[in-house]
């Protein structure tokens, strides 16, 4: 998870600043540093949430054996003696 967040932070840091500088060079519109920082934090938090969600979904898809025996099972599959 840390690797996902740090990668997203680095990529968003570089890309947002490059896009802002290219936009200033071609259009003359300056994007203030406060807004750039807000975009970087927003992208990082968004990727962290989505990355955590995907990791949880992947963990749910793996099959884990149950501990105990079938006699410990509650519900309809339990035989009554």
Tens of pLDDT along 21-59? 999 999 999 999 999 999 999 999 999 999 999 988 888
- Higher pLDDT: 22 or 61? It is 22
Distance (Å, whole) CA 36 – CA 9 = 12
Name the residue ranges covered by the structural domains of the chain.
Answer: 2-61
Task: Say what the pLDDT of residue 60 is.
Answer: 83
* Range list of β-strands (E), 1-81: none
Report the predicted TM-score, pTM, of the whole model to 2 decimal places: 0.68
What percentage of the chain carries pLDDT values higher than 70? 77
- Higher pLDDT: 70 or 38? It is 38
The answer for residues whose C-beta is within 8 angstroms of residue 55's C-beta and 6 or more apart is 1
Distance (Å, whole) CA 45 – CA 38 = 11
Candidates 23, 67, 7, 75; CA nearest to 31 is 23
What percentage of the chain carries pLDDT values higher than 90? 58
């Amino acid at each position: 998870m840390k690797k996902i967040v740090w990668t997203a932070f680095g990529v968003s840091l570089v890309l947002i600043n490059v896009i802002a500088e290219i936009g200033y060079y071609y259009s003359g519109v300056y994007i203030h540093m406060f807004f750039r920082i807000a975009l970087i934090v927003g992208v990082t938090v968004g990727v962290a949430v989505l990355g955590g969600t995907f990791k949880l979904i992947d963990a749910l898809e793996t099959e884990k054996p149950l501990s105990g025996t079938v006699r410990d099972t509650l519900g309809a599959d339990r035989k009554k003696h």
